[in-house]
Structure 1
Amino acid sequence: MLHMIKLAVGCSSLDELRARMQHPRINGHGAVITRTMPKRASEILNGGSLYRVMNGMVLCRQPIIGLEPYQRDDGTTGTLIIVIDDIIPVHPRTMRPFQGWRYLTPQDAPEDLTGTNTSHDNGIASLPPHLRKELAELALI
């Protein structure tokens, strides 16, 4: 299994990401447009997720269910990363800006926030995103 990580440029919250995921839709699922097809697609399609960076923080992931080529309006080819609609919050982690997408190994991926007060969460999932970001920047979570 292998994950991908990509900036959600212009998105400042999970609610904005949810709204953005309404277009384009491919067979009832959200799609993220990118330029290149991953060479390690078979590993990604074996349980991988798309981790999203917003405002310099990895904040969530969406399981990937497909990778499809498509043709852009200018005639060049691109790739659609097909994801499920569930946006799963993860422990925030700072991330410098980068172009395109990157591979992310499971051991390097941030853990999910469970939404329950377990020893791994401590109620962090119930905090607003801006507070989670501030805590992560201070290295408190």
Structure 2
Amino acid sequence: MPTEPLNLIKLCVGAEKVEDLLNWQAHVRETRTARGEPAEHRHVTRMWPKREAELLDGGSLYWVFKGQVLARQQIVRLDEVIGEDGIRRCGIVLADEVIKTEAVPRRPFQGWRYLKSTDAPQDLAADREGETALPPELATALAALGVR
């Protein structure tokens, strides 16, 4: 019986909307390309996921913007990154494509958390990708009523 991929969820600190993430990642890719480095996006985090195999079996990193999950990127691989301080960290290498999702409220938390596929928001249909996210208060109220 095939298992569902496991995902991560993380706050997108410093970004208010998905377009901010897209712009920042484009800038990082341009900078790395200019330096002759791989242009892939790698998010470095302090902790190494213990459930690595499940994440690499089709999992994604879901991004939370101002209290709402709004997008995801597929996890390509996990790289070991040794910081200038000599401490081992996890570089989560992400696919270039940022996929917008249904807006789902999420309370603040530190670091990242595992997110089961059954609890993850659905991808937005192609004809809905231009929609603006609901204000967090309204999205929370609708979620409480069972309406997404």
TM-score (norm 1): 0.84
Do structure 1's residue 46 and structure 2's residue 57 form an aligned pair? yes
* Aligned with residue 80 of structure 2, among 69, 82, 93: 69
Distance 1:56 1:71 in 2: 31
The C-alpha deviation readout for 1:68-111, integer Å capped at 9, x for no partner, is 11011222121111011111111111111111101111100000
Instruction: Specify which structure has the higher proportion of helix.
Output: 2
Tell me the equivalent position of 1:107: 118
Distance 1:36 1:59 in 2: 24
DSSP 3-state at the match of 1:18: helix
Distance 1:126 1:84 in 2: 21
Tell me the equivalent position of 2:131: 127
Distance 2:135 2:124 in 1: 11
What letter matches 1:7 in structure 2?
L
Tell me the equivalent position of 2:103: 92
DSSP 3-state at the match of 1:73: coil
- Name the CA shift for 1:48/1:39 in 2 (closer, same or farther; >3 Å): same
Check conservation: 1:21, 1:31, Cα contact below 8 A.
no
Report the identity percentage: 38
What letter matches 1:19 in structure 2?
N
Tell me the equivalent position of 1:120: none
Check conservation: 1:36, 1:78, Cα contact below 8 A.
yes
Unpaired runs of 5+ residues, structure 2, are none
DSSP 3-state at the match of 2:126: coil
**How far 1:132 sits from its partner (Å)?**
6.5
* Aligned with residue 4 of structure 1, among 8, 14, 17: 8
* Aligned with residue 140 of structure 2, among 124, 137, 141: 137
Distance 1:62 1:35 in 2: 19
Tell me the equivalent position of 1:37: 48
Distance 2:109 2:77 in 1: 23
What letter matches 2:22 in structure 1?
R
The C-alpha deviation readout for 1:8-65, integer Å capped at 9, x for no partner, is 1111111110122243767331111111110110110000000000101101000010
Tell me the equivalent position of 1:82: 93
TM-score (norm 2): 0.81
DSSP 3-state at the match of 1:126: coil
